[in-house]
Chains A and B, each alone.
Chain A
Amino acid sequence: MSDNFSNSQIIKDPGDNYKTLGTRPVRHDGVDKVTGRAIYGNDVQLQGLIEGAILRSPVAHARIKSIDTSAAEAFPGVLAVATSADFPDPKDKVADLGEGPVNLAHLSANCLARDKVFYKGQAIAAVAARDVHIAEEALSLIKVEYELLPVLTRVLDAMKEGSPLLHEDLRTNEMGKKADTPSNISDHLHFEQGDPDTAFENAHLVVEREFKTQTVHQGYIEPHVATAHWNQDGHLTVWASTQGAFSAREQTAETLALPVSKVKVIPCEIGGGFGGKIPIYLEPVAAVLSRKSGRPVKIQMTRDGVFEGTGPTPASFMRIKVGVDEAGKILAAEAWLAYETGAYPGGVIGPGCMCVFSCYDIENARVDGFDVCVNKPWTKAYRAPGSTHVAFAMESVVDEIAAKLEMDPIELRLLNAAKEGTKRVDGPVYPRIGLVETLEAARDHDHYKSPIEGPNRGRGMAAGFWFNIGLKSSVTAHVNNDGTVTLLEGSTDIGGTRTSIAMQLAETLGIGAEDINPKVADTDSVGYTDITGGSRVTFATGLAAIEAGKDIISQMKGRAAMLWECEEGEVGFADAVFSQDSNSITFAELCGKLSSTGGLITARASVDPQGFTNGFAVHICDIEVDPETGKVDILRYTALQDAGKAIHPSYVEGQMQGGSVQGIGWALNEEYLFDEDGRMLNPTMLDYRMPTALDVPMIDTVIIEVPNPSHPFGVRGVGEPPIVPPPPAIANAIKNATGVRMTELPMSPPRVFEAITKNGGAPS
Chain B
Amino acid sequence: MRDFEYQAPSSIDEAVALLAEHGDRAKMLAGGTDIIVQLREGLRDAGLVVDVKKIPELMQIAWRDDGGLEFGASVPCHVIYKDEKIIDSYPALTDSAKIIGGWQIQGRASIGGNLCNSSPAADSIPSLIVEGAACRIAGPTGERTVPVHDFCTGPGTNCLTEGELLISLVLPPPAKSAGSRYMRFIPRNEMDIAVVGAGAWLRLDESGESVEEARLGLAAVAPTPLSADEAAAWLQGKPATEESFSEAGDMARKAASPISDMRGPADYRVHLVGVLVKRALTGAVGRARGGDRNPVIPVGINRC
Contacts and interface: CB of A to CB of B under 8 A. Distances in A.
Interface of A: 133, 136-137, 456, 624, 626, 628-629, 631, 633, 668-669, 673, 681-682, 686-687, 689, 691-692, 694-695, 748-750, 753-754
Interface stretch (B8-16, B126-134, B257-265): B257-265
10 contacts: A631-B301, A633-B301, A687-B193, A687-B263, A689-B192, A691-B188, A695-B188, A695-B189, A748-B187, A750-B265
Contact of A689 (B1, B102, B187, B300): B187
Given A136-B1, A750-B264, A750-B265, A624 B301 contact: yes
Contact of A673 (B191, B262, B271, B298): B262
A692 B275 contact: no
B88 interface: no
Contact of A750 (B190, B268, B275, B302): B268
B90 interface: no
B66 interface: no
A686 B192 contact: yes
A629 B275 contact: yes
Given A624-B301, A694-B189, 16 more contacts: A133-B1, A133-B3, A136-B1, A624-B300, A626-B301, A629-B185, A633-B300, A686-B191, A686-B192, A689-B187, A694-B188, A748-B187, A749-B185, A749-B187, A749-B268, A753-B268
Contacts of B301: 456, 624, 626, 631, 633
B43 interface: no
A519 B193 CA distance: 43
Top-10 shortest CB links A-B: A694-B189, A750-B268, A681-B262, A628-B275, A626-B301, A673-B262, A694-B190, A695-B189, A669-B187, A692-B190
A689 B188 contact: yes
A692 B262 contact: no
Nearest to B265: A750
- Among A136, A456, A631, A691: residue with most chain B CB under 10 A: A631
B185 to A, nearest CB: 6
B192 A682 contact: no
B46 interface: no
A682 B187 CA distance: 14
Contacts of B2: 137
B17 to A, nearest CB: 29
Which secondary structure dominates where chain B touches chain A?
loop
Contact of A692 (B188, B302, B304): B188
B272 interface: yes
Contacts of B185: 629, 631, 749
A507 B187 CA distance: 47
Given A626-B301, A626-B302, A681-B262, A686 B189 contact: no
Contacts of A633: 299-301
A681 B264 CA distance: 13
Interface in B142-197: 185, 187-193
A626 B303 CA distance: 10
A136 B191 CA distance: 28
Nearest to B272: A629
A753 B3 CA distance: 46
A682 B263 CA distance: 9
Contacts of A629: 185, 272, 275, 304
Nearest to A750: B268
A695 B188 CA distance: 6
A692 B187 CA distance: 11
Contacts of A695: 188-190
Contacts of A673: 262
Interface in B93-123: 102
Nearest to B193: A686
Interface string B261-304: 01111001001100100000000000000000000011111101
Nearest to A626: B301
A137 B268 CA distance: 41
Contacts of A456: 301
Contacts of A748: 187
Nearest to B3: A133
A452 to B, nearest CB: 15
Interface centre among A136, A633, A694 (most CB of B within 10 A): A694
Nearest to A749: B187
B189 A692 contact: yes
A668 B192 CA distance: 14
Given A456-B301, A633-B300, A687 B262 contact: yes
Contacts of B304: 629
A754 B297 CA distance: 27
Given A137-B2, A682-B262, A631 B187 contact: yes
Nearest to A302: B40
Of residues A682, A687, A750, A753, which shows the largest number of chain B Cβ atoms within 10 Å of its Cβ?
A750
A35 to B, nearest CB: 21
B39 to A, nearest CB: 11
A668 B1 CA distance: 35
Contacts of B1: 133, 136
Contacts of B275: 628-629
A54 to B, nearest CB: 16
B233 to A, nearest CB: 25
A763 to B, nearest CB: 14
Interface in B1-51: 1-3
A689 B195 CA distance: 13
A681 B260 CA distance: 13
Nearest to A134: B3
Contacts of A749: 185, 187, 268
Contacts of B191: 686, 692
Given A136-B1, A628-B275, A687-B263, A694 B299 contact: yes
Interface string B191-207: 11100000000000000
A633 B192 CA distance: 16
A745 B190 CA distance: 21
Interface in B197-222: none
A689 B271 CA distance: 22
A750 B272 CA distance: 10
A695 B298 CA distance: 10
Contacts of B263: 687
Contacts of B264: 750
A669 B188 contact: yes
A137 B275 CA distance: 47
Nearest to A635: B300
A750 B298 CA distance: 19
Contacts of A133: 1, 3
Contacts of B300: 624, 633
A629 B264 CA distance: 12
Nearest to B276: A629
